[in-house]
Amino acid sequence: MTQIELLKKHIAKLDDDSFSKLREWFLDFDHIRWDKKLESDSNNGKLDFLINAALAEHQSWIF
C-alpha cells in the first residue's frame, strides 16, 4: 500500500472535527508552499515575462 493510499484510509476514518482541523491545516500548508514557490520563481527570474508584459502594456498607454 502506498503512502497516499494509507493517508486516504486514515483520513476517511477521521471524525468531523478532526477532518475540519486537517482541512484547515492543509489549506494553510498549501498556501505557504505556494507562497514559497512564487517567491522562489520570482527570485530566479521565472516571472520576469510578466513584468515585461506589464511594462510593455504600460508603455503603450503612455505614447
SS3 assignment, position 47: coil
Q: Where is 60: in which H helix or E strand?
A: helix 48-62
Query: What is residue 63's predicted lDDT score, i.e. its pLDDT?
Result: 64
Per-residue pLDDT of 32-63, as tens digits, reads: 999 999 999 999 999 999 999 999 999 989 76
Q: Choose the weakest-confidence range: 5-9, 21-25, 31-35, 59-63.
A: 59-63
Chain mean position to CA 3: 22
Query: What is residue 7's predicted lDDT score, i.e. its pLDDT?
Result: 97
For the chain, what is the radius of gyration of the CA atoms?
A: 21
d(Cα 29, Cα 37) in Å, to the nearest integer? 12
**Residue 44 DSSP code:** T
Longest dimension (CA), the chain: 63
Query: What is residue 36's predicted lDDT score, i.e. its pLDDT?
Result: 98
pTM to 2 decimal places: 0.69
Q: Domain residue spans in the chain? A: 16-62
